[in-house]
């Protein structure tokens, strides 16, 4: 088993940046939460990761079959349970381009459903949290 790493730093205000490999992902909070709204919030990125993962698997399905993807898109919507303030439903719609082969409609949905982000929500990892003094 190999261990991977993401390093998080705090550049100011309520901004939180994450360094993953060669990329820095910047986050902020909305103004109403004390931020400047200069970047997506961490929770927004969580939702974006679900939608883009489904999109990637739909794209890969089409590329493997040489199906044109011009005009294809993915639309994700969600609702929150007002009592617990948690998302209780996520809907993902793959908008297929004109001329998409009908015989692949169900298969592209099945492919998008194999998204690894979604799979990790279905079988979440164990979380181990601790605090250490730097140095």
pLDDT of residue 52: 98
Q: Which of 65, 68, 64, 54 is CA-nearest to residue 97?
A: 68
pLDDT tens per residue across span 56-90:
999 999 999 999 999 999 999 999 999 999 999 99
* Residue ranges in the chain modelled with pLDDT below 50: none
Return d(Cα 44, Cα 16) in angstroms, integer: 13
Encoded tokens for 125:
């990892």
115 in Cβ contact with 53 (< 8 Å): yes
Instruction: Output the pTM of the full model.
Output: 0.90
Task: Say how far apart CA 33 and CA 128 lie, in whole Å.
Answer: 27
Q: Does domain 41-122 have CATH number 3.30.1330.60?
A: no
What distance in Å separates the CA atoms of residue 100 and residue 121, rounded to the nearest whole number? Answer: 30
pLDDT value, residue 2: 82
Domain borders along the chain are 1-39, 41-122
Who contacts 68 (Cβ-Cβ below 8 Å, separation ≥6)?
62, 97, 99
How confident is the model at residue 40, as a pLDDT?
97
pLDDT of residue 135: 82
How confident is the model at residue 3, as a pLDDT?
A: 87
């Amino acid at each position: 088993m190999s261990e991977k790493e993401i390093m998080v730093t705090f550049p100011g205000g309520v901004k939180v940046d994450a360094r993953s490999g060669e990329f820095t992902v910047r986050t902020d909070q909305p103004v109403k939460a004390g931020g400047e709204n200069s970047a997506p919030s961490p929770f927004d990125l969580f939702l974006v990761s679900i939608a883009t993962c489904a999109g990637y698997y739909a794209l890969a399905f089409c590329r493997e079959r040489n199906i044109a993807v011009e005009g294809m898109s993915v639309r994700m919507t969600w609702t929150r349970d007002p009592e617990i303030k948690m998302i209780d439903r996520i809907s993902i719609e793959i908008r297929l381009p004109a001329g998409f082969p009908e015989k692949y409609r169900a298969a592209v949905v099945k492919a998008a459903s194999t998204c690894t982000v979604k799979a990790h929500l279905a079988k979440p990892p164990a979380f181990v949290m601790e605090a250490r003094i730097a140095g």
